[in-house]
Structures are given as C-alpha cells and as structure tokens.
C-alpha cells in the first residue's frame, strides 16, 4: 500500500510540469496581450510596461524566472491586470472563499445524496424512490446559472431573508445560497449513482446469501452492500470534489463571492498571464492530488486495484 502511494505521488510530478509548459505555451499563443486595450497604447508606453513585467525577455528566460520564483520562494509573480496585487495576494483572497463554499457543498451533497440514493434503492419502486428520482432529474435539468438568480429572487427579493450576494468574510448568511446553488446538481448525481449501484449490489448473490442466513436488513446494507456499492460513487466524488473546491465561475458571478472561479476565467480573458498560470498550477496540483487520494481510497476499498 505504501509503495503504491509513493509511486502515485512521484508519477504526478511530470504531469504538473507538462501542465505548466502547455498552459504557458497556450497563453502566449492566444492573440492579444495583457496590455492591449480599446484605446491602444503608444509603443513607448507599451515598451515600458513590457519591460516592467519582463515580457521583453525571450520566452525561455520568462519561463525560467517564473519557475524559479515558484519553486524557490513560492512566488507566482505580479498580476498584470490587478496592478496593486501579486498573484499570491489574489490566491490568498480567493482560495479560502472557494474552499469554504466548495467544502460545504461537497459535505452537503454527500450527506444528502448518499442516504437518499440508498433509501431509494432499498425502497425500490415505492413513493420514496419516485420522489428521489424525480428530485435528481429535476436538479440536473436546472443548471446553476438558472438556479442562482431564482434563489436570489426568492430569498432576497421576495422573502428578504438572505443577502443577494457578497461574501463578508464568509458569514453564514452569505454562504447559504452559493452552497445550495452549487451542491444541488452534485447531490442529484450522487443520489442517482448511489441508487443504481446499490440496486445492482442488492441483487448480487452474496446479498441473497446474507438474506438467507437471516441477517437483519440494516446489517446487510451497512456491512455488506454499502462498501461495494460506494465504489462507483467514489470514482465520481474525486473529480466532483476538485471541481467544487476550485469554484464555479457561475457561483462567483451570481453571488459576487470574490472566489477563484471567476478569477480563473477572467485571467484568461484579460491575458493576465501570471494570474492564469498561478491559478492553473494550483488547480492542477489539486486535481492531481485528489485524483491520487481517490486512487488510494479505491485501492483500499478494492484490493484488486493495488496490483
């Protein structure tokens, strides 16, 4: 098991390097520059700006300086657009926000989704099952960019219960709507996957044997059926977790959270090279990290995979 973890960890290093190289190349290939604007800057002003941000150097030198900064001082450089901030400042502001609503969303999606899926499977073809399936389908066809404004209309405009946006350092009133909007569709997916996987397991031979032995139903489900039934759920949870904690541009736009999702998209649109690189690297490392964790969890649940 230990060697498996070591192996997985080391194999992720080249992946990260390739990620950096590809994002660096793609960014430079995109038309326009961080300083292009409607007005268009005079050449001498542009030259001063490029000199200040090192864009006048050959690309390999830029890449070298950049990598050196990250590896030796964990410094992602200055933002090209937000001139009063460094990329580290922006990550320090946006990441905790995203992490907060992402973790809560994940927690709620799992805490509601899995029990709902199990209940639906156990009470197969009953009203509860239909309700759970109906909810899942409903939640999936209602994307969060539709749900977010609806939530604001209901809870802010009509009921005046919750603030319609902002973050305020993560006060609970500000966190509720982003979490609902983000978690619902994941919750639905988790419930659906759990339900169908559970149904499959419940009709397996070893469950029939357990039933024949006269075990209590709750014991069958918790001790025998749950572990194998969760395997497909876990493979879904890994990427879902990463996409939740790296934020959603929709959530950030509609709830003005100041989170990372919107910075990511805007950095690309603004050609804010250093910010885009910084966010890509952090997101990339996290994706790889959680995929590794999922693999490890998988290996623990299913020994066949360790081989």
CB burial of residue 125 (10 Å; 0-12, 13-18, 19+): exposed
Among 44, 60, 212, 307, binds other proteins (CB under 8 A): 44
Backbone angles phi, psi at 137, to 5 degrees: -65, -40
Q: How far is the CB of 4 from other proteins (least distance, A)?
A: 41
- Is 29 a binding residue for other proteins by CB under 8 A? The answer is no
Question: CA angle 288-292-296, nearest 5°?
Answer: 170
Closest listed residue to residue 253, CA positions, set 145, 122, 131: 145
Ranges within 206-245 binding other proteins (CB under 8 A): none
CA distances (Å), 263 to each of 14, 22, 94, 249, 271, in order?
26, 20, 8, 8, 11
Number of residues located near other proteins, criterion CB under 8 A:
53
Rank residues 86 and 196 by Cβ distance to other proteins and give the closer one.
86
Q: How far is the CB of 76 from other proteins (least distance, A)?
A: 14
CB 247 within 8 A of CB 261: yes
CB 275 within 8 A of CB 263: yes
User: Which of the ranges 32-40, 121-129, 206-214, 220-228 carries the binding residues for other proteins, by CB under 8 A?
Assistant: 32-40
By rule CB under 8 A, what string of x and - marks binding of each residue 136-165 to other proteins?
------------xx--xx--xx--x--xxx
- Is 32 a binding residue for other proteins by CB under 8 A? The answer is yes
In whole angstroms, give the CA distance from residue 154 to residue 169. 23
By rule CB under 8 A, what string of x and - marks binding of each residue 76-95 to other proteins?
--x--xxxxxx---x--xx-
Ranges within 48-67 binding other proteins (CB under 8 A): 48-49, 51-53
């Amino acid at each position: 098991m230990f060697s498996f973890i070591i192996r997985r960890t080391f194999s992720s290093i080249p992946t990260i390097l390739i990620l950096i190289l590809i994002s660096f190349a793609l960014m430079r290939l995109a038309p326009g520059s961080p300083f292009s604007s409607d007005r268009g800057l005079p050449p001498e002003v542009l030259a001063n700006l490029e000199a200040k941000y090192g864009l006048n150097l050959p690309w390999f030198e830029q890449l070298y300086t950049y990598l050196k900064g990250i590896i030796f001082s964990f410094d992602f450089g200055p933002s090209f657009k937000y001139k009063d901030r460094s990329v580290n400042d922006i990550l320090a502001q946006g990441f905790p926000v995203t992490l907060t609503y992402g973790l809560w969303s994940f927690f709620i999606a799992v805490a509601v989704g899995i029990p709902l899926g199990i209940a639906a499977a156990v009470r197969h073809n009953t009203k509860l099952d239909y309700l759970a399936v109906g909810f899942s389908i409903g939640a999936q066809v209602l994307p969060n960019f539709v749900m977010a404004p609806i939530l604001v209309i209901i809870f802010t405009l009509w009921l005046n219960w919750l603030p319609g946006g902002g973050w305020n350092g993560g006060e609970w009133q500000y966190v509720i709507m982003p979490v609902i909007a983000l978690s619902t569709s994941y919750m639905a997916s988790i419930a659906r996957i759990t339900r169908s996987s559970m149904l499959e397991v419940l009709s397996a031979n070893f469950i029939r044997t357990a039933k024949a032995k006269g075990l209590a139903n709750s014991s069958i489900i918790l001790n025998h059926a749950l572990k194998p039934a969760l395997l497909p759920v876990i493979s879904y949870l890994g990427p879902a977790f990463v996409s939740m904690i790296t934020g959603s541009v929709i959530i950030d736009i509609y709830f003005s959270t100041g989170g990372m999702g919107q910075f990511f998209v805007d950095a690309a649109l603004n050609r804010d090279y250093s910010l885009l690189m910084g966010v890509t690297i952090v997101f990339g490392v996290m994706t790889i990290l959680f995929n590794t964790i999922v693999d490890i969890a998988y290996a623990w649940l299913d020994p066949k995979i360790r081989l």
